[in-house]
Chains A and B, each alone.
Chain A
Amino acid sequence: MGHGPAVKLGKDNAAAYKGKIGISMFIVYTLTYFGFVVINAVNPGLMEKVYFGQTLAVLYGFFLIIFALVLAVIYNHFCTAAEARLN
């Protein structure tokens, strides 16, 4: 049928561990993202309030972008360590 990877992949003993931390981090980021969506939908006026010279909307937006990168780097660190330990 032609299924299966285009290149041969070895068995990944760290897959289950990586899946678990992936789901945990996904939940953390999803809650942060939907917190942003809910504030915008329910109390958009709050987003105009100014903290540290910027509107909350701008601060929250920057936070979501930076937080994504930080979580991604942490995730990769744990995954790489697990691959070295278990494979």
Chain B
Amino acid sequence: MIYTQSPLAIGLFFVFVFFVLGLSFYLARRTSSADGYYAAGGNIHWFTNGIAFAGDYLSAASFLGICGMIATAGYDGWMYSIGYLAGWMVALFLVAEPMKRLGKYTFTDALDSKFNSKSIQLMAAISTLAVSVFYLIPQMVGAGVLVQPLLGMPHWVGVCIVGVVVTIIVATAGMASTTYVQFFKGALLLICSTIVVISVLTRGLGTDPNQGDTKEYHKFQTLNAVVTNGNLQVAGYDVVAGLDSEFGQAGFVKLSQGGAETVWHLKEAATGYELVEALFVTKMADGTKLFNGAPKEEGKFFAVGHIKEITVDGKEIAQTGAVGPLEFLNRFKDSTVVLWGKKYVKVGDTTTTIYYQKPTPGSRILRPGLKFKVDNASGLDKFNFISLMIALFCGTAALPHILIRYYTVPSQAAARKSTIVAIAAIGFFYVLTLYLGLGAMTNGVINITDNNMSAPLLALSFGVILFSVISSLAFATVLGTVSGLIVASAGAVAHDLMDNFLGMNMSDKGKVRAGKISAMVIGAIAIYLGIIFEGMNVSFLVGWAFAVAASANLPAILMILFWKKATAQGVAASIFIGLTSSLGLILVSPDMWVRYGLLPQDAPVAFNSPAAISIPASILTLVIVSLMTQKKGAMVEEGAEA
């Protein structure tokens, strides 16, 4: 195990969970009407709502996923931060005030406000459900990831805890409790992340990441090997899999010493080979996993993340000492940092995943291209990258759980001001993510098999108290975001589908009861999905949710607001095409092919991000269908009033 549990962390975790539950039960007593349940009565202060926006938005994807991605892929991970933040400008300039003016509880209300169309009600509700469920998956995966080091329990337990607690929260008090949970969580997350970043800067950069002399970092070894009569020979080791083996063909060898097997990365040297120590995970035919040749509990798998060389004014140094934020980046840029590559070797029914060292200049890490293929890239690679950046930019203003927060404030000015508070808080946090990620990269804390825990484990390197608070907060982050998503989903089912589309004419209490039952069902679905998607980077998964939201919802929102000829049929068709095309392209993408246990190169499409195709398809559909249905459809009379 890379980490062990602490009573303090477990205690704090339960304090957070019970605080959140207590708040929900307290607020539940004041929530009996549908207005209270779905929109917190529309009387939340704009500053509280702004921080709650940040709480909603700084989900597991931001805190766990982005930091983990920066820790392993540098600047490319930070591009998610930039894209996510930029998306708020679409929300502020185009969507915030009109959404407030047009809607009541859900974003479907706003879309349907001019038409009263059954097809819009149905499509928008389905879209809300699809996007929310997509967004729920990474949150639940994040919960599972957190529970392992916090409580020493398996992934599925974490997913179940979140599912059950959140369902209780939502089923008791709805949007009011969700808002206050998000407010406290958002504020605390900003404060604690700032403390971790200050600690990182105070520690500075060093070539021996011993976590302030508290924990010894594994000394990765290098061996020399010679080739005699075509056979590799290494002093003191037996060669288990040599140059002609599947390992050798992949650029590795497997050695044995005293019965313990190790894997080494081959590098050609003047006389023979240089062998650089690697980490490896072996998955046997029966599903058993060995970490560096032993069960996980034996602790033979090491945390990674170190600097090979730090150069200041042409001289190599071992430690920089405390540095300022800009000096930190400057020194990092002039260092050589060891990143980790990953390769698979399959022998019979056994698959070995090998993690090998890749010393990389800091300046190369502080520019794009380590995760996204942009250097010497094919047109398809560039398309994939641009498509993702479009999805991040367009997705924020189309996320149902973000949009419903505009109904919790009393006025359009409050909607605008709360968006600005959110931009300030989220922008500040995203600056911090760069330091959190690079801090994890250089402080020997990364679990290379699952980088999602990089930020909490970085906090652990500064002491168990900070780790406990940060991890509990991260868990509260998941709780809060999942609450918001389930409120949005419950609104789609109970308000949009049952009340509006099916015309069930429920009483105010009936609407609230329907919302609570919906919340429980959606919570159960989220638990199941959170378990089967274990191991995927949560920010990457959120990228997909953004693509679906941007394709299905944003064209409809913007065209209703700014194009007078939009018709109900055009809007419904646009949502349908945006939703099905983005979901369809994701389901046949290379990354999903890996999930199905197939080879990614065999996937029918060669890109992972569908937005650059599905958004234009959605817009085009809206325009064509609207033009075709001008006489039959109800036109937007006041479409450009915003």
What residues make up the interface of A, taking CB atoms closer than 8 Å to B?
1-7, 9, 12, 15-16, 18-19, 22-23, 25-26, 29-30, 33, 36-37, 40-42, 44-45, 47-48, 50, 53-58, 61-62, 64-66, 68-69, 71-73, 75-76, 79-80, 83
Number of A-B contacts (CB under 8 A): 175
Indicate if the CB atoms of B413 and A83 lie closer than 8 Å: yes
A56 to B329, CA, bound (A): 12
**Chain A proximity of B398: nearest CB distance (Å):** 15
Indicate if the CB atoms of A2 and B104 lie closer than 8 Å: yes
A31 to B412, CA, bound (A): 27
A3 to B102, CA, bound (A): 8
Choose from B39, B82, B366, B410 the contact partner of A36 (Cβ within 8 Å): B82
> Which residues of A lie under 8 Å from residue B413 when comparing CB positions?
79-80, 83
Indicate if the CB atoms of A1 and B500 lie closer than 8 Å: yes
Known: A6-B39, A41-B386. Is A1-B116 also a contact (CB below 8 A)? yes
Choose from B39, B330, B364 the contact partner of A53 (Cβ within 8 Å): B330
Residue interface mask B394-438, A partner, CB < 8 A = 1: 000000000000010011110011011001100100110010000
B252 within 8 A of A: no
Indicate if the CB atoms of A3 and B427 lie closer than 8 Å: no
**Chain B proximity of A33: nearest CB distance (Å):** 5
Apart from A33-B86, A47-B368, what 7 extra A-B contacts exist at CB < 8 Å? Answer: A2-B495, A23-B93, A30-B89, A37-B386, A45-B375, A61-B78, A75-B416
**Chain B proximity of A29: nearest CB distance (Å):** 5
Of the candidate stretches B51-59, B105-113, B133-141, B267-275, the one touching chain A is B105-113
> Which residues of A lie under 8 Å from residue B104 when comparing CB positions?
2-6
A4 to B110, CA, bound (A): 8
A48 to B368, CA, bound (A): 8
> Which residues of A lie under 8 Å from residue B424 when comparing CB positions?
69, 72
Indicate if the CB atoms of B375 and A15 lie closer than 8 Å: no
> Which residues of A lie under 8 Å from residue B377 when comparing CB positions?
41
**Chain B proximity of A54: nearest CB distance (Å):** 6
> Which residues of A lie under 8 Å from residue B562 when comparing CB positions?
23
In this complex, what residue of B is CB-closest to A61? B82
> Which residues of A lie under 8 Å from residue B427 when comparing CB positions?
65-66, 68-69
Of A7, A22, A47, chain B has the most CB atoms within 10 Å of the CB of: A7
Indicate if the CB atoms of B330 and A54 lie closer than 8 Å: yes
Known: A40-B374, A65-B427. Is A6-B35 also a contact (CB below 8 A)? yes
B369 within 8 A of A: yes
**Chain A proximity of B299: nearest CB distance (Å):** 37
In this complex, what residue of B is CB-closest to A16? B641
Q: List B360-400 residues whose CB lies under 8 Å from chain A.
A: 363-364, 366-369, 372, 374-375, 377, 382, 385-386, 389, 393
In this complex, what residue of A is CB-closest to B361? A48
Choose from A7, A33, A41, A72 the contact partner of B42 (Cβ within 8 Å): A7
Residue interface mask B39-54, A partner, CB < 8 A = 1: 1011100000000000
Known: A50-B333, A55-B367, A76-B420. Is A44-B642 also a contact (CB below 8 A)? no
Q: Shortest 3 CB-CB distances between A and B: which pairs?
A: A7-B42, A6-B42, A26-B93
B185 within 8 A of A: no
Of A16, A57, A75, chain B has the most CB atoms within 10 Å of the CB of: A57
Of A25, A53, A72, A73, chain B has the most CB atoms within 10 Å of the CB of: A72
A73 to B421, CA, bound (A): 10
**Chain B proximity of A71: nearest CB distance (Å):** 7
B326 within 8 A of A: yes
> Which residues of A lie under 8 Å from residue B419 when comparing CB positions?
72
Indicate if the CB atoms of A48 and B500 lie closer than 8 Å: no
Indicate if the CB atoms of B368 and A44 lie closer than 8 Å: yes
A75 to B382, CA, bound (A): 33
**Chain A proximity of B87: nearest CB distance (Å):** 9
Selected A-B contacts with CB under 8 Å, 23 pairs = A1-B112, A1-B116, A1-B500, A6-B407, A12-B101, A15-B101, A15-B641, A19-B98, A26-B89, A26-B90, A40-B374, A41-B377, A44-B375, A54-B330, A55-B363, A57-B366, A57-B367, A64-B86, A68-B427, A72-B420, A73-B420, A75-B93, A75-B416
Known: A3-B112, A41-B374. Is A55-B366 also a contact (CB below 8 A)? yes
